[in-house]
């Protein structure tokens, strides 16, 4: 009996099933559902440096990071969509000058001179706005990269929420 035909048919079937199941990725890149892509394209037609990915805990959630000169500001944004194209959350990198004065005062009073600002992010999630600020601690040799990094979280009102030290 000639098993080559059966083996070839089996392998062909496995390849077809595998291709059908992995339509969310092409060459390792995530391809969002059409509804999500249309929503994104309508909101951010001038986006560039786009990188789609799936949320690790819930692969039905699409996340895109990109650069844009848009209404949120000029810079880097990260947006989370559900499969219907609804925005679940939005993170925008901002400058220190865009922070509320209460946050700047808190940092100046609680983290004096030996800290430099790192990433500053404005987060909009489920109607709530918050801020996340990375501070890098200088060590005696003046090198901020060899010290601690603190991630401070604040409510939109400027109220301190938490700190994480790494």
Q: Residues 39-71: pLDDT tens digits? A: 999 999 989 999 999 887 777 899 999 998 887
Instruction: Assign 22 a pLDDT band (cuts: 50, 70, 90).
Output: very low
CB-CB contact of 78 with 63 (8 Å): yes
Instruction: Assign 2 a pLDDT band (cuts: 50, 70, 90).
Output: low
CA distance 163 to 166: 10
CA distance 6 to 121: 57
The total of other beta-carbon atoms located within 10 Å of residue 7's CB is 10
- Average pLDDT for the chain: 81
CA distance 46 to 67: 9
**Is the confidence at residue 36, as pLDDT, over 60?**
yes
- Confidence at residue 21, expressed as pLDDT on a 0 to 100 scale: 38
**Is the confidence at residue 148, as pLDDT, over 80?**
no
- Confidence at residue 87, expressed as pLDDT on a 0 to 100 scale: 92
**Is the confidence at residue 17, as pLDDT, over 90?**
no
Vertex 159, ends 157 and 165: CA angle to 5°? 130
CB-CB contact of 81 with 61 (8 Å): yes
- Confidence at residue 3, expressed as pLDDT on a 0 to 100 scale: 63
Vertex 132, ends 75 and 82: CA angle to 5°? 70
């Amino acid at each position: 009996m000639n098993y080559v035909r059966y083996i070839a048919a089996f392998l062909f079937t496995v390849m077809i099933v595998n291709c059908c199941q992995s339509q969310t990725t092409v060459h390792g890149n995530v391809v969002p559902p059409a509804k999500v892509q249309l929503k994104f394209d309508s909101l951010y037609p001038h986006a560039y440096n786009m990188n789609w990915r799936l949320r690790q805990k819930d692969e039905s959630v699409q996340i895109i990071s990109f650069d844009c000169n848009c209404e949120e500001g000029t810079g880097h944004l990260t947006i989370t969509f559900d499969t219907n194209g609804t925005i679940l959350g939005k993170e925008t990198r901002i400058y220190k000058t865009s922070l509320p004065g209460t946050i700047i005062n808190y940092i100046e009073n609680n983290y004096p001179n030996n800290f430099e600002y790192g990433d500053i992010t404005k987060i909009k999630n489920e109607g709530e706005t918050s801020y996340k600020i990375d501070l890098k601690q200088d060590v005696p040799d003046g090198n901020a990269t060899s010290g601690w990094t603190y991630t401070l979280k604040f409510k939109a009102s400027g109220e301190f929420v938490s700190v994480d030290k790494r």
